[in-house]
A and B are shown apart, each in its own frame.
Chain A
Amino acid sequence: MSDQGPFDELEERLFEAARSHPYPPTPDITGSVRRRLAEERAQSKAHRHGRQLRLAWTAALVLLLAGLLVVPDVRAALLRIFRIGSVEIEVVTPTPHTPHTPTLTADAGSLPATVTPPAPASLLGLVGKTTLAEAQQRMPFTLRLPSYPADLGLPDRIYTQHLGGAAVILVWFDDEQPSTVRLALHQLSDGTFARKSVEIRQLQQTTVHGKPAVWVRGEHILEVGTGGRFEGRRLVSGNTLIWTEEDVTYRLETDLPLEEAVRIAESLRPVETQR
């Protein structure tokens, strides 16, 4: 194959190579395509129905809980579990000794630690570190980023994980104290399973874009798992706003007050990545 050789010769050899290339037999995928389409249709129908029910149920329960707050005896004895999107909230009776310092209790590698400073070393070792573009490719939904506060910019760390469903965790560090987490935003697809154990006094009903959302103030236990089994458990010491939009559940961990958290939540915009 000389340098001056005509391209025709090389092209002819490519055609020859292609004709004698040993492809594996082409599988007949019509059956699998038919099954997938049927499954997705059924899932979509069930999901739409389930989501409507969940939202209604969540709204009713939050109202019920808010009402029960005014009855001290009931409040003390209350034990309820309800869900918002992929997050299950277990309302527990107050514990006599609440720790003041955030500590990781188990499986430090499965989730980034709490929002409040300083960012623990476990965050740096968190599995699934990736780029925004890669994360978008892996997620079955469009990633969204806050456009507020204006100086927030792109997340400093991005992690993707499988917690029963696909999950992405976006972390922003404090510019002035880079070892401190300013904000953490979890975006969880359907199938992800997380549970928070909170005291009822920590719960507050709110809305994001007019839809029911839950605000959890202060320290609480967060557990995550796959297939219904909890695999990781940690103490969150910041406040958390939980809401759902479309098929995605959002958890925003921050030290900011509720009004600011809602403003951030309502500022989410689709990520523009190079594809």
Chain B
Amino acid sequence: MERSAEHQASQPELIGRARRGDEAAWETLVREHQEAVFRLAYLMLGDTDEAEDIAQETFIRAFKALDSFAANRPLRPWLLRIASNLARNQRRSASRYLAALRRVVRLSPEQVAPSVDQSTLHSEAQTVVAAVRRLSPSDQEVIYLRYFLELPEAEMAQALGVAPGTIKSRLHRALARLRALVDIEFPDLREGRQS
């Protein structure tokens, strides 16, 4: 009964209660947004454990900073912004860099190439992901938010902390770079598409 009441409460109401220290209200919001936060961290880091850590840290930091958040604004872009900053810092950290070197093959395009029993669609999708991972972190980020998490442009702007008008041009540039990369480094993908 309690849980159902939590689910029926509006986001501003839940945020208001969480601000007053109601952790059950915050947990409802965590449950609602954890998938998007976890997936963005996973896409950016390529590691399940690290993504879980980042997701956890995101909700801890957001809870502590709730007083600075306008309850009538959408929560998801704000959470994704925190997660993306944390993931970016994590990606730059020296310890992670060394760990990544030790298991670099896990992130290489070859490793995400399709196995023999996967469908053509699945394998092609993985190669597209591998190509995206070769882009710069900021290009990756804009692509993940738009196509993988399917955020509308207004929410993307909030998540990236940029003006709404900037999103279109950032997407355009990221796609252009992805296209060029596919042409040069993933010719199979290009040919597969044309056949």
Contact = CB atoms under 8 A, between A and B. Distances in A.
Interface in B2-52: 23, 26-27, 30-31, 34-35, 38-39, 42, 48, 51-52
A37 B63 contact: yes
A168 to B, nearest CB: 14
B183 A3 contact: yes
Which of A2, A29, A34, A40 has the largest number of chain B CB atoms within 10 A?
A29
A205 B175 CA distance: 64
Interface string A1-36: 111010101110111111111111011111011101
B31 A30 contact: yes
A20 B122 contact: yes
A23 B38 CA distance: 10
Contacts of B190: 1-2
Interface string B57-69: 0011001000000
Contacts of B38: 26-27, 29
Contacts of B148: 14, 18, 21
A7 B175 contact: yes
Contact of A134 (B51, B94, B121, B172): B94
Tier of interface size on chain A: 35 or more
A24 to B, nearest CB: 5
A52 interface: no
Contacts of B39: 23, 26
Is the contact region of chain B dominated by helix, strand, or loop, or is it mixed? helix
B169 interface: no
Contact of A11 (B26, B92, B147): B147
B113 interface: no
A39 to B, nearest CB: 10
Contacts of B27: 30, 33-34
Interface in B163-195: 172, 175, 178-179, 182-183, 189-190, 193-194
Given A21-B148, A137-B93, 8 more contacts: A2-B194, A3-B179, A18-B147, A20-B121, A21-B125, A23-B42, A26-B34, A28-B34
